Amino acid sequence: MKNFKYLLYLIIFIGFSIARAGAYEDFFKAVEFDDPGTINRLLRAGFDVNSPSPKGQYPLFIALQSGSNRAVEALIAAPDLKFDRPNENGETPLMMAALKGADRWALRLIEMGAQVNREGWTPLHYAASGTSTALVRLLLDRGADVDAPSPNGTTSLMMAAGYGSEEAARLLLERKASAGLRNQLDWSAADFARRAGRESLAARLEAAGR
């Protein structure tokens, strides 16, 4: 009789583990492929909205990265969501929203309490290297440190000069970003612009940095 009970418990445990593994895979597929119905069903069944993916990314970060807007809405509505939790690389959902130019979600996250300023790479660095000047303006209006250095001393102006839009670089200059700063490679914002083939912008940044 004891052996029978043990076998029964084992079967139940194995069945639960298989079901849990299936739910885990289904949840992250739903996040990536913008399926809020499956997300909400699994959350109601007790799935942890803050579970990391096999690659260590959190659901909200993945949804923003994938442009899965309905999934983002479903996740943000979850009461236990850790909406500002960084991944192992120190990246937050607000940083991904900034990079993707997702103005709507960036504003929503800021209003929920996401940090605009943080140690190391910041949302402004990510916005400056993206395509949305409006997002750069939003972060500055919400108190982003215009000259915050990355771990290697790179500023948002350098990111805009080398990777983002020239309009964003001009906006940062208007908001008093320092063009005279250099990172640990001894590169200035003008150097970033020049390496990107933006000679006119490089000349402007060089003049501003004198």
pTM of the model: 0.87
Asked whether the beta carbons of 108 and 79 are under 8 A apart, the reply is no
pLDDT in tens, the chain (210 residues): 445 444 434 333 333 333 344 789 999 999 999 999 999 999 999 999 999 998 889 999 999 999 999 999 999 999 999 999 999 899 999 999 999 999 999 999 999 999 999 999 999 999 999 999 999 999 999 999 999 999 999 999 999 999 999 999 999 999 999 999 999 999 999 999 999 999 999 999 999 998
Nearest one of 114, 192, 109 to 150, comparing CA atoms: 192
**Can you give the chain as a three-state secondary structure string?**
CHHHHHHHHHHHHHHHHHHHHHHHHHHHHHHHCCCHHHHHHHHHCCCCCCCCCCCCCCHHHHHHHHCCHHHHHHHHCCCCCCCCCCCCCCCCHHHHHHHHCCHHHHHHHHHHCCCCCCCCCCHHHHHHCCCCHHHHHHHHHCCCCCCCCCCCCCCHHHHHHHCCCHHHHHHHHHCCCCCCCECCCCCEHHHHHHHCCCHHHHHHHHHHCC
pLDDT value at position 16?
35
- For the record, the structure tokens of 140 come out as 């500055």
